[in-house]
Amino acid sequence: MTGLIGTANASDAMCRRQVAAAARTISRYGHEDLTLGHVSVRSATGDSMWIKRKGVALSEVTVDDVIAADLGDEPPRGDLMHYEAIMHHEAYRRRGDINAVIHTHPWYATAFGASDAEFQMLSHDGVLFKDGIGRYSDSSGLITTGPDAERVVNALGSKRVTMLRHHGVLIVGEDIRWAVLAAITLERSIRLQWMASGLGEINPIAPGDVEDLYLEKYRERFLAEYWDAWLRDLEATGFTS
């Protein structure tokens, strides 16, 4: 599977493999939560999405567990559709730059979202979120209605992630690689902040250094390397999609 690169122009078959690989990958980095959590990518034609189905854990997703949903006016419904797939639907409809969406309940990010703590850039991981982190606090419940999904995406704005108060995160990316990277580095950044806060005074990266670090660290060729490394890691477990 090495070389399977996430792009907006991928075939539907490749999109399904991307979702399966992404779900399996983030499950290994703190995002597993029973059969909850979901990953999606925008389809090759742009008018639908491919999303992990309801009823399977992130760690066991295969291509057969990835289903299609239209991005028309009606929200996605069905026995196999996650109740909160409407967040993916709304994000794709509102932002043309989004080609992958993740909703999960990682421990550290969920704890952070239940607090009033400010996100601090304490490592190069944190620099990925140089544009800030959104916060949705209108409700602690499931996001299952159009108005709720609209408010979540409003809280997301132009950012990569928004915290859902008491309820995990919504993460978006230019493609599946960026979304997976954001999912992994967000949880790692918040865990690091929690650790650092117990050691003494926090010293964030100087604001003037953030942009230069971002341009140095987050290059397209690095994303290809990261994605291939994640796929090799999956292959070592016997996953072939």
**CB burial string 214-234: b at 16+ within 10 A, e below:** beeebeeeebeebbbebbeeb
* pLDDT given at position 205: 97
State how far Cα 163 lies from the chain centre: 11
Nearest to 51 by CA among 63, 59, 60: 63
* pLDDT given at position 7: 46
* Pairwise CA distance, residues 43 & 46, whole Å: 5
The pTM for the full model equals 0.94
Over residues 222-236, the pLDDT tens digits come to 999 999 999 999 999
Residues 179 and 102 sit within 8 Å (Cβ to Cβ): yes
Give me the residues paired with residue 29 across strands: none
* Pairwise CA distance, residues 154 & 148, whole Å: 10
Parts of the chain with a pLDDT under 50: 1-3, 5-8
* pLDDT given at position 238: 87
* pLDDT given at position 2: 43
Ordered by start, the domain boundaries in the chain are 12-231
Residues 88 and 144 sit within 8 Å (Cβ to Cβ): no
Amino acid at site 92 = Y
Residues 183 and 174 sit within 8 Å (Cβ to Cβ): no
12-231 is classed CATH 3.40.225.10: yes
Radius of gyration (C-alpha) of the chain in whole angstroms: 17
3 state SS of 181: helix
* pLDDT given at position 240: 76
H/E run at residue 187: helix 176-197
Hey, how many other C-beta atoms are within 10 angstroms of the C-beta on 46?
13
